[in-house]
Chain A
């Protein structure tokens, strides 16, 4: 009897897995890195376009999706017969007009009780070729000021269906804005450009910010004319603490999954990577060789550490297994590879390589050993940072003159700029999904 129950349970799981697989749009595979998506006009009734909150929500959703490097939005002018449909769910949706316009996915919005304040909206996504519903969800209590939040939640849910993770729309980026020589503060922003705000107001320059796993702290290198320090921003108080270390060197801190910080400090001869305890005091050495060791980053298990070292001459990327202590060289090409950043799933390491035309971002697959260039300038592309989904990569680039923050994917999708209000910005780092709103 027990065996039969187990068999039935296993079959159920297999069926569920197959259903899930059928719903998943694979944007990870090579050559499948563009998704064409269309938004139908929002409806309050069959063939009746919603022109209040409905229209505004569609605009915000479009803005959100436009920052995805693999997303191509269908121009509604290209949809023969227009985007106002008779229905919002199967049957009643004319998919053919969207197929003809080249759309792979169609999103419909239905406001059953009108699209005034404090109303309800149903959002659905379909595959246009099969008419199969990928996803559908109802959001109640929608008000004008909540539209960005509704759009973020919907886009996160949609992305989760498409890629398996909605972390992109649930994350907050921290970055540094330089305002002068050794002057700069930290800011937060959603990858869509919303909720931009400054979180530090300190003399000197804040570099290399990084989030704690719980989203409470951001640590960073603080540099002024006299000293280096570890800056610690506490979301609870909004205050910045400045911690100095012997040797006057603090470079590139990174949080481990256990919320401890690894950072390069001077050992009296050269910068080495130290682990700090929860009170930000030296606990032990993580990597020391007599050469420069900087820019640690960790996978989500905290057992793999990617870092930069010049132990073989020029700077190269290395990976240390913290369980075995084994160190392997990651970057095999180029004479100057720095700014290692390992994906949370531990399968990829991104870094920037100096070329004759500026730095470019490369990603090495740690399973196959294959290296892929994912940024192409112009200008200089630096400081890659993986999102929690191990798919999106934020980086800093001078491609438009001043330094801005851009998004691409591990496949090198067309880079999209994150609106940061201008200025010379750098060091984008992702917070864990749902933890980093900074409020």
Chain B
């Protein structure tokens, strides 16, 4: 009877082990935050690539339209992702005008993503004007890095 119980336990343990193995091979690996690797890669791709602008301009260059196409594809694939588009300006302009310019920069990207098929409910936007520089300092090297849109995933 004791031997029978031992064999039954071993069979259950093996079955459980096979079960676990099957589960891990069927699903994507999970990160520490509970996000699948693919989802995390999508989030990284959406947030990493910024869109930059010329001084006192808010028009999109072809280079950044390509960047936005990639973001749009990911957002359509992962429709649970919500993104905040953050418009920013360099330190040369004045604060109130830059808040308006930052909004134009955020809005042009918002509208382009919607044209590409992203659900507007996945997007929100804000202008920080010149209040949130990416880099400190003066000169075109710093200014050009601050005239940007950033993308922050706020839900997924």
Contacts and interface: CB of A to CB of B under 8 A. Distances in A.
B132 interface: yes
A382 B92 CA distance: 11
A226 interface: yes
Given A248-B126, A338-B93, A352-B94, A271 B100 contact: yes
B125 interface: yes
Contact of A249 (B56, B94, B95, B99): B99
B96 A308 contact: yes
A249 B103 contact: yes
Interface string B109-127: 0000000000000001111
A340 to B, nearest CB: 10
A162 interface: no
A64 interface: no
A223 interface: yes
Interface in A212-267: 221, 223, 226-228, 248-249, 251-252, 264, 266
A294 B127 CA distance: 14
B131 interface: yes
B59 to A, nearest CB: 13
A249 B85 CA distance: 13
Contacts, number: 84
Contacts of A427: 95
Contacts of A383: 94-95
B132 to A, nearest CB: 6
A295 B96 contact: yes
A205 B131 CA distance: 9
B107 A269 contact: yes
Contacts of A249: 99-100, 103, 127
B129 to A, nearest CB: 8
Contacts of B151: none
Contacts of A352: 94
A426 B131 CA distance: 13
A248 B126 CA distance: 6
Contacts of A310: 56, 97
Contact of B99 (A181, A221, A227, A315): A221
A266 B103 contact: yes
A244 to B, nearest CB: 11
B96 A226 contact: no
Contacts of A226: 84, 126
Contacts of A182: 128, 131-132
A207 B93 CA distance: 15
Contacts of A271: 99-100, 103
Given A266-B103, A271-B103, A248 B125 contact: yes
A427 B94 CA distance: 11
Given A295-B96, A383-B95, 18 more contacts: A181-B132, A208-B95, A221-B96, A223-B99, A223-B129, A248-B124, A249-B127, A251-B96, A251-B100, A270-B100, A271-B100, A271-B103, A292-B100, A294-B96, A294-B97, A310-B97, A338-B94, A338-B97
12 contacts: A181-B133, A182-B132, A205-B131, A221-B96, A228-B127, A248-B125, A249-B100, A252-B99, A270-B100, A292-B97, A292-B100, A308-B97
Interface of B: 56, 84, 92-97, 99-101, 103-104, 107, 124-129, 131-133
